[in-house]
Structure 1
């Protein structure tokens, strides 16, 4: 594979005049990642503190992006929402994903509204439901001598929990997953798929207005910000964001973490012998196998990492780069279950830090416990051709396991 941390020698016309040519790198978070995307991305630490990519296909066509490689600079961007905006303008829709695409001060009111939904106490109350679902999924796999882990466990575990929280009908699961695939992975069909999701959720929102239940859609319908009820566009923005967020990131994290255990039987055995290690192990694997890349938009000219970023420039912040920064983690590419002071940024940073982090942690820990109770020592199938996909969320397409 081409060394993707090597600066380009040519100067594509699309490169803005204020970008130093020695910082231009052909790097794309969507393609060219190999089946081990974290190693590919981490190799950027061998190059400049910040780079500029003209070929970042997860953004709007024809737009390049700055990519800071130091965790310090990534945190600076994510913390400064006034300078680096999260707002997205869609040419064919006025949909805003709330609170993800809101900047302060509007963001704060909606974040305060939603924080209790995913509090540690509320997620603790879900533990038995998560445990029962994980146990049933593992038992369905046990006697087969193997499984396609993503289809049989990593996807149905978090998705099943989340559609219960949202109050969505379980018999529409395949439809939901098809939409998720288009939104996350297919840039050409993303806008259409998001509109289909919005239309579907509008019907459920109308139904909850008449007959509210205890689900997340009912919560949005009944919610208030700054002493006023939410309008229809705000309710829809919250529901579409929850729908999208609930269908992807935990599945991706489960896939990468269980791949690691399948490829490291000694560490797998250590967890089997002592379940008390699992929370720390999960936390370390969140760090090593972070999955999210986010984009911000400069609202003014600003200096970052020694370069001038112009108003309107894109800046892509990668949790992978932040979590594998050798300036912050000793031997960052080594997975060490005994790592101390593991202050990683796998759930992002600043005002938009992942609201579902407590749910994700509980699903990973409980899911791993129940899987290890039921399934004997497992490994990746020797003939497996693993493929990773990139973009806003890194994922494995398949993970065939044998035991």
Structure 2
């Protein structure tokens, strides 16, 4: 199964010094299919996520008569119910990405999300939405995401040569971030025009993603000789990440910084009751970070960074925290949009460095499991960050929750730079493990 072109006779060019000279990953048909599948799936799920959050907050305020603080706490619970399946199923999802054909795992996840979109569309159309129903479907959406993430992440290193991987990761981020711009904005606008139609829009996009991903050549699991008992393999993935201090520091930096500084959960509050922008404004607020991220991702795809990558990642996280503080204090819609764009740009920079370092410092037969651990950290930071924000908003109000969280993220960055000097000393993207040539 030759999903990567045969290596040249001479020693391959490695990421770092010549990363900017590597060919475009779009030269490879499999990568083009992969890119489009990622774009359409993310656009669909982001449209769903922004509407689910708004519907839950609006339902709590309108149908249940909750105050702003009480409804804000419900948004925190929404993050928690999405995190629980991630925490439970992440080892299984990582094992599945390393044991089974990775495209099939990702396609199956899309099919789960199509069913969720259809259910939400029906109950939105009939006016039967309740808080328990929204929480249940949000949890099922978490199940779909936990299996999709590791499988999709583990596909990319197997369909492009190693010297193209940093640029492929940047372009994959462009797919994600550009979809994260269009998806929330489209979701908010479609919901304002006809609430149930947003879920039809999402279901169609998810079906397109599944069909396109099916065009990628099969990405089979590692050979049988590197396999073991399923439970042993799951534990091995966790142990490998724990023992590799570099990976541990990289993953946990994102985990704690975003748990403390996550402001996404409060966006429905800001849109409805602070900035008075409604569901359309919420769509634009959710899209704003992705605008900044897409700009940075495009720049990194054209000219990947080569030097002092670890220090730059740490500074990017600090800028994200500072932007969160400023956003929390803003009461002007245009200024809030600008600050969210800056936050998205900083986050994209750190995501690019972290993603490339993780892929190139993990052996291929463990990429699914390590990607699952990384995905759990990212999802935990998002969902638990929403829970933290909601709980803190119940005490300090939404503005206090956002400002305190952003300041705490800056502190975490400084602490991690001291606890994990490996991050500061990461100069280039020189890989420790190369993708398997299949």
Give the TM-score normalised by the residue count of structure 1.
0.24
Structure of higher RCO (CA pairs closer than 8 Å, 6+ residues apart): 2
Q: Which has the higher strand share?
A: 1
